[in-house]
Amino acid sequence: MNIPTVALVGRPNVGKSTVFNRLVGERVSIVEDFPGVTRDRIYATSEWLGKPFRLIDTGGIEMIDEPIMKQIRYQAEIAMDEADVIVFLTSGREGVTDADEELAHFLHRTNKPVVLAVNKTDNPEQRQEIWDFYSLGHGDPFPVSGVHGTGFGDLLDEIFQLFPKEEQEAETEDTIKFSFIGRPNVGKSSLVNAILKEQRVIVSDMEGTTREAVDTYFTSESGRHFTMIDTAGIRKRGKVFENTEKYSVLRALSAIDRSDVVCLVIDAVTGIREQDKKVAGYAYEAGKGIVILVNKWDAVDKSDNLFEEFTKDIRAHFQYLSFAPILFVSAHTGQRLNKLPELLEMIYDNRHRRVQSSVLNDVLMDAVAMNPTPTDKGRRLKIYYMTQVAVNPPTFVAFVNDVELMHFSYERFLENQLRESFYFEGTPIRLITRERQ
């Protein structure tokens, strides 16, 4: 499924990040245990009336040392590239400014729909003052207040009206979508090219239906279909903002969202860096399948136990990714790259495995017999029943007497039992606890 994307643009101080937080609300998952990127709050997935959408705050992509007018133009460009609908934010307090006019002018170049919103319209009297904003030439202004949370229902209704209808992914459903994610220069583009050479297939380069992403489709020797999602941003190189870290992260995030399996690329020469962890954290939060690729294996001096040491290092830095297989590869020599398609197939299949409830409950009973459920103040956790509610990633619901009694460590234990019994290598699994009515 292609989730539609909204970008917020506006001059500094109109309230973009305040409005962003309003639109995303509490629904953003923020996991404190590991360095996820969602806390940076420039990109989030949310929903309105049960329908998902993505939101980008272009103001969060800092353009160091650029004058304001230039920053605004870059932000507008990013929005025009990435979004299905652009929300042009202004402020009712300050009225129409030169920077607003400049931005309005710039946004006239896009054929994407633009919705004009007037923020800081905190009370009804101020709503009368929004007429000035018609002069920007972007249609009816929508009054909102980021601080008070008013006006967002109408704004979201309008946004959803303007999303492209029948957004269709060109690929069929049973294609395995994957992407290479990692810092600049770890070898993502080289890996894309090496895979194409390795697969010795005729590749059809197709423009994405709505966005500029270039996907590549190929079929492996075993006959499975793959979609390789471009993230390297190769075609955008040279634009100033391409080099800003947050923008490259942003592109990576939208690719992760579209992937079934994410190949996290680590440079064998430079080793693990902080930025590697950020993107890995996001892929994990998004519930994606993960392979860790250690690239440039040709370029390291293979001392006695480099292999073991690297593996240990990765496991220590990415503890929450203990389910992810590690593959040591070289884009230059092609070493072990032939193993990647079968690994991706395996993970894809693991993610789509459905476990029968009866079998699941046998495993649950054995688990509880082996390791009794925790107690608190004389009350013991009772797990009545477990059932699988979703695939991709596999998601289980456990019905219990009291959710407060389910401890993190016991959840971990159950997750491990499920992994041992049903083989979910390469994919996160989710365990949800519900109280039985």
Distance of CA 433 to the CA centre of its chain: 24
CA atoms within 13 A on the CB side of 105: 10
Closest by CA position to 424, among listed 369, 370, 363: 363
Q: Which is nearer to ligand GDP, 184 or 372 (CB)?
A: 184
- The answer for residues whose C-beta is within 8 angstroms of residue 396's C-beta and 6 or more apart is 360, 386, 387, 388, 389, 418, 429, 430, 431, 432
Residue 420 contacts residue 340 (beta carbons within 8 Å):
no
Smallest distance from ligand GDP to CB 28, Å: 16
Which 8-state DSSP code applies to residue 206?
E
Smallest distance from ligand GDP to CB 121, Å: 7
Residue 206 contacts residue 283 (beta carbons within 8 Å):
no
The amino acid present at 408, given as its one-letter code, is F
Smallest distance from ligand GDP to CB 254, Å: 17
Q: Which is nearer to ligand GDP, 123 or 172 (CB)?
A: 123
Which residues make up the interface to ligand GDP (CB under 6 A)? 10, 12-18, 59, 119-120, 122, 145-147, 182, 184-190, 232, 295-296, 298-299, 330-332
As a whole number of angstroms, the distance between CA 156 and CA 160 comes to 6
The amino acid present at 73, given as its one-letter code, is R
Q: Which is nearer to ligand GDP, 59 or 393 (CB)?
A: 59
As a whole number of angstroms, the distance between CA 326 and CA 276 comes to 14
* C-alpha R_g of the chain: 24
Longest CA–CA separation in the chain, Å = 75
As a whole number of angstroms, the distance between CA 82 and CA 423 comes to 37
Q: Which is nearer to ligand GDP, 188 or 351 (CB)?
A: 188
Q: Which is nearer to ligand GDP, 16 or 177 (CB)?
A: 16
Compute the residue count for the chain: 437
Residue 309 CB: number of other CB atoms within 10 A? 11
Q: Which is nearer to ligand GDP, 330 or 373 (CB)?
A: 330
Strand order of the β-sheet with 289-295 is 204-207, 214-219, 225-229, 176-181, 261-267, 289-295, 326-328
Q: Which is nearer to ligand GDP, 13 or 401 (CB)?
A: 13
Smallest distance from ligand GDP to CB 344, Å: 19
Closest by CA position to 140, among listed 111, 177, 115, 107: 115
Closest by CA position to 85, among listed 151, 20, 164: 164
Q: Which is nearer to ligand GDP, 151 or 393 (CB)?
A: 151
As a whole number of angstroms, the distance between CA 307 and CA 368 comes to 38
Q: Which is nearer to ligand GDP, 126 or 401 (CB)?
A: 126
Q: Which is nearer to ligand GDP, 214 or 431 (CB)?
A: 214
Smallest distance from ligand GDP to CB 286, Å: 21
Phi-psi region of 10 (alpha: psi -120 to 50; beta: other; left: phi over 0): left
Smallest distance from ligand GDP to CB 326, Å: 16
